[in-house]
Structure formats: C-alpha cells, structure tokens
Structure 1
C-alpha cells in the first residue's frame, strides 16, 4: 500500500467561495461539468472514460497529456518521476503544467503557475487552487475543454494511485483560481463546479508499456496497453529503426480483454534483439480490415 502523504490544507475561505458566487451566463462559455465537446472516436470505439487508476507503490505519478489520433484529439497517460515536495495530486499537476511529455506526439496547453495547491474532502472531491497564470495559452473552445479534462484526469489518477480516495465512488474535481470559483479557463470554460471524468476523452487505443524512449533488456519484450473496445481486435506492428530508415520487423493481431476489471486491456510479447524500435497499435473495424483506426505509437530501444 502506498503511504498516505499529508495533503495541503486549503483556507476555510475557499469552502465559502464554492457557494458564494453565482455564475452569469455568457455566450460561448461552457461549464466544466457539462462540456459541449464530447469526443467520440470512429464507429468502432464507444465513448468511455478510462478506469480509475489503482493504488501502486511506485514513486512515479500518472500524468495525462493531449495527443492526436486520426482526425480527433484525446487524452493519453504517462507515468512520470515527480519531486518529493507537495502532495501526490499537486506533484502530478505540477508536472502536467511545467514539463513536456516524453512522447513528442503529445502536448499540453497549461503553463506553470506561481501558486498551486490541492486538498481532498471526505466526499471524494478533490479541490485544486491555482493562480491565473496557468491559463496563459491561446486555445480554441474544444481544446480548452480537453485541457480542463486533462487536469481532472490527472488529479483523480494521482489521488487514486496514491490510495488517497475511495475508488469505488465517483471522484469529482473542483477548480479554484486564486481562491475563487467562476473563473473562465482559457476564456472558454467556466470553472468551479464539481467535475468528473468526461466520457470519450481518453484515447481509443493507448500503449502503456513500454513508455516513449524506454530502454528494455533484449529477449522477450512485453507490450501492453488499453483499448476502448472490450473484446475488440487490434493490429500491432514492430518497426526496426536504423537512423532514418524504418523497416517492418514483426506484425500480428491481438484481442483486447472483455473481462470485468480488465476491460479493454491487451498485452503481447515479442522477442527482440538490441536496437531501436517503434511499436504501432491500431483498432481493427469489422468489414474494413485495411484501415488502421486510432493508431498509437511508441519508440523504444532494446539493449
């Protein structure tokens, strides 16, 4: 069991702020708890949210990033080293706002705020308070909604993996800016309402292991990930990378699990010698086997 880290206590005034402001409707502004841009992948992928992370003993924090797949934009997760200061939620959010993803296909519109704190109530509500400089990016309404969900996914993932919340209940996040509700994030999304993970925000396919840039031992290399289609078929391909030359090395298909608790999970093992590789995994759609849907890729090396 991961040791519970003391959380920073937010001032009592913040609790009053949650109920002390009344939002004034404005044209073109959505509420964080009811985004207008609900993502859906192509027909083969239902709109689901990723299962809440489980408690782990690792010192790495789950951090979500934004990435593109086909013509849509989704959330992808990486496990990252985090500094020792602050609590698990604040640490993960600080990485999300101040560092770059390992995978060059991912990005984040957040900026590193001068002030960032978080706390968790007994009702499984995570409260995040930050300074307004976190929003110093010019994004469109759809990307603003994805960015807010990126924060919600990262905060809930960090709390769950640290064992700080009851994973059997719905987890919500309240975002305050300088101690107040009703701030309009990126000039498009009003914050302050309890917000849960949105359906359809996570990538239809994402490779969990190996992570981008990882180095693994030669021999049997395990590749694992998740699909939003339990029981669905996926195509996998291993490319060997020699400088700028990519050569198809191995390929095949794998079926995502349909079992409860492992819904959508997939894994495969391939024998690889030393060198640089890229793995590509995509969904297969019945009746359209030639098209690779919702491709995810990872580059890694074998030593």
Structure 2
C-alpha cells in the first residue's frame, strides 16, 4: 500500500474526530463510571463476558485508541488516523536483555504545559526543524495487549510466549508548538487516559525532531533505560516511528534515533539505532480493531455514534453494549467498508442515561475465539 492511498481516509478521520470532539461534553465522568462499575463487579474483570466464545476461554482484551483526556491545559486527544503504512519492516541487531518492567498503566498524570518553542525554522546540524503550529491534531500511539495475551517483559529467563502479543493502540492529541516534538513528549511523559494502554518510554526526554534528505532525526536528551524482550522492543520502537510519522503526515521517511546528537545506542537493550529505522507493516504491529470515539470515560448524549477501524475477516466487527448499572447487555455486529484490510466501521446506538461498557471485537475464523478486542467505558446523559 502506498503512502498516498491512506491520505483521504486520514483527513476524513481527522475531520470526523474534530467534529465529534465539538459535540461531546468533555466532563470527566470516569470516576463515577468506575465507582458504579466496581460496585457491580470485581476491579480485575474489565470484560467478564469475554470469558467464552463457544467453548473457548478468552482473557481480558486490550482497548484501542480513543479520545484521551489530559488534565490541566492539555486538550482532548483521540486516536484514529488511518492505519496502514508502507511495507518496509524494521530490521535491527539485538542484544541480550536483563531488566524487568511492569506494563501496568497508572492514572492520567497532570504535566505542566511545555514551554512555547521559538518560532524559528532555521536548519540545525541535523536538519530543518518543524514549523510551529497552533491546535494541530496529532496521533499518539501506545502499547496494549491483544485479547487473551499478556505483554512479555524480559526477566531472568527468556520469554517463550508467541510473537505479536503486544500491539499499537492510537489516540489523538491537539497540540501547539512543533507537532512531532509535542507528540513524542506526550508519548514519553504522559499516562494514557485508557487504563488498558501503557508506554515503556518513561524516562525518555525528547530534545528535537528535524528532517534532512528524506530522514527524520529524533534526538533525545535521555533514552529509556528499560530492557525488553526482542518482540516487544520491536513494537515499542514502532510506537515512536508511528507517532513521529503521523505527526509529520509522512509515513515513508525513516526515523533516525540519536541521543545528544549521537546514534548507535541500543533501544530497550535490543534495537540498533546506528541506521535509520523504517515503519513496519500496520497489520504486523497495529491493533486489528479500534474504537476511535467516543472516549474512555467520556460523557455523551444519545444516540451514541461509535466510530472505529478494523482489519476484520469477512469485514465483520462484533460488538456488545452493557449497562453497568442494570447489567443488561446487547450483542450484534457491523461491517467495515472492506474486509481483510484496515477500514472504518460505524455503530449508532440509542441508549438510556447511565454508565455503559462498549466492546468491539473480532472472532477468529480458525477456532471461534476472540482474537482482538477494544473496550470503552462511557456515560450517557
């Protein structure tokens, strides 16, 4: 798939999400939702209904990109820029890993606004910096676990779990300043609004993002100190690449990672940064089903419009809507515009006031189990 083939859908999603953001009241209903939900169920049971499909047992699924609400002066963010990218996969030298880290997300953190960048766009020794903008909508990518899996963080022994248990989940953020710099800053220092997402880039501190001769250079003051298993390190590296390229509206330019101007440091103890790194195929690293809006913890009016993206077998996306107060559930399905490729889907629901859990999921054609899922908890006024 070429770089240009996704541009109309990218812009359509940006406009749709901006319109949806204007329609939704950004009241923070998440505490009330969680209080009601926890009164009805154990905290760990994010998706109790996912335990069986036929005779198959399924674990808790990772949620996928939606409006992430940041506190303070930060604006509403949501995930949804079209997903497929050029097919060059990152190849990297890998070294043994030794440390362990927990992927458990913590509540959204409030961070002071970034200092307004200077308006100059003069070239630096690494290339030309971005233009300063105001109110740009940029994608932010996070890590999350596929349905029934756990991410593999290396401990004393090598991991034996299957590849691709970790996926990228996209959100959106409205930023002012240099878009890619601000996007990376959010990715490395914020907590996502959805508790099913996390980042292993904590501790990293971005310096500049510049472009020169078809290469994007992301320079860090500090890189993350976390060591990961090889497969998780690959997806975590793609988290940076997808976020930067999305902010720059260009998925073809490889990303050179440097620390204080020097390449070659090992990312997560695995990825060689001596040479620029390219974007992997979306189907290899990105979540296969995603609820783009409404947001996790968002308050909205009925009818509720659920927008998402999926790469679904036979273009079929299943969904379940559960009233967290009455425990009444409704199941159905909807079709994407095309099957076996990333395409949008739309669900219209008339809901009575109250807290709801919205689940969108794919069912494996091989064994009937849930292979991928996304969950959002909302409040209907």
- What is the TM-score with the length of structure 2 in the denominator? 0.58
Change (3 A) 1:113 1:69: closer
Pairing partner for 2:329 from 230, 249, 255:
249
Distance 1:250 1:276 in 2: 14
**Partner SS for 1:94:** helix
Distance 1:267 1:278 in 2: 17
Deviations 1:185-241 (A, max 9, x none): 122111142222212110111111112122212x21111111123742111001111
Corresponding residue number in structure 2 for 1:181: 263
Distance 2:292 2:373 in 1: 13
Distance 1:255 1:59 in 2: 31
Change (3 A) 1:253 1:270: same
Corresponding residue number in structure 1 for 2:349: 270
Distance 1:256 1:58 in 2: 30
Distance 1:259 1:253 in 2: 14
CA offset at residue 6 of structure 1? 6.3
Corresponding residue number in structure 2 for 1:210: 294
CA offset at residue 141 of structure 1? 2.6
Q: How does 1:22-171 map to 2 (within 5 A)?
A: 59-70=136-147, 71=149, 72-82=165-175, 84=176, 86-121=177-212, 123=214, 125-132=215-222, 134-160=223-249, 165=250, 170-171=252-253
Determine if contact 2:323/2:355 at 8 Å carries over to the other structure. Answer: yes
Distance 2:196 2:342 in 1: 26
Q: How many residues align?
A: 242
CA RMSD of aligned residues (A): 2.8
**Partner SS for 2:194:** coil
Relative to its length, the structure with more helix (as a share) is 2
Determine if contact 1:237/1:248 at 8 Å carries over to the other structure. Answer: no
Distance 2:304 2:234 in 1: 37
Change (3 A) 1:234 1:7: farther
Distance 2:171 2:138 in 1: 8
Change (3 A) 1:205 1:194: same
Structure 1: state its 5+ residue gaps: 16-56
- What is the TM-score with the length of structure 1 in the denominator? 0.71
Relative to its length, the structure with more strand (as a share) is 1
Distance 1:234 1:8 in 2: 45
Distance 1:127 1:90 in 2: 11
